Amino acid sequence: MYDFPWKAKNEKVLFYAKENTSYFLIKNLLNLFVVFWISFFVSVIIYFLTNSYLSFIFVVFFIVWYILYKNYLHHRTYLIITNKRVLKFVRNGLFSEHMKEIKIEQVNEVSATKRWFIEKIFSIWNIKISWKDKENVIWFKWVKYPKQVVMYFSRLQDFLQEKPNYNLSDLKEFIPREYRK
């Protein structure tokens, strides 16, 4: 499946997901609009100062750069469930990133919710993972197959409690029902 840099030798990745691309687009649409108008305003000022149409290339360049930058950040935000822990990696900027980690034994509740009309249209939900103190929560927005992920996670917790000395080959990776043979 997927490997990550801090994976232990006795750890198996069971579920890997990125936030949905639709969520990414909707979340950044307003930002893109603002970036467009600011870059357009700056290029108009540059045009009046230099009388060169090359200043409008600035708009295109800046928008393309912004889209590539946001795409870079989007592809580095993901959720991983292993046989030992739940991890969420978030990249906020070029030099800013953070990771949340919960051990499987500490997870108190895993639930799937949808609140927006748009979430109902695309059948995409949010997954909430909380642990014993209930103040710290991992939210993962707009995940496909959320109900199946929640059921899979609860079965995984039951399996790990029943068999503390399990073999890694006994654990099956998450596969949505539509893709199972």
Q: Read off the pLDDT of residues 20-78 as tens digits, 9 standing for 90 and up.
A: 777 777 778 888 888 888 888 888 888 888 887 777 787 888 888 888 888 888 888 88
Half-sphere exposure of 132 (CA within 13 A, CB side): 5
For position 1, what pLDDT does the model report? 58
- Find, among 152, 153, 145, the residue nearest to 129 by Cα: 153
User: Residue 140's CB: how many other CB atoms inside 10 A?
Assistant: 23
Q: What SS3 class is residue 156?
A: helix
Q: Residue 17: pLDDT above 70?
A: yes
Half-sphere exposure of 81 (CA within 13 A, CB side): 24
User: Residue 17's CB: how many other CB atoms inside 10 A?
Assistant: 19
Amino acid residing at 159:
F
d(CA 168, CA 163): 11
Handedness of CA 45, 49, 55, 61 (dihedral sign): negative
161-180 burial, b at 16+ Cβ within 10 Å, e below that, comes to: eeeeeeeeeebeebeeeeee
What length is written for the chain? Answer: 181
The token duo for 56 is: 């409008």
Q: Are residues 78 and 16 in contact, defined by beta-carbon separation less than 8 angstroms?
A: yes
d(CA 51, CA 115): 50
Give the mean pLDDT of 160-178: 82
CATH code for the structural domain at 79-164: 2.30.29
87-109 residue pLDDT tens: 888 887 778 888 888 888 888 88
Q: Residue 155: pLDDT above 80?
A: yes
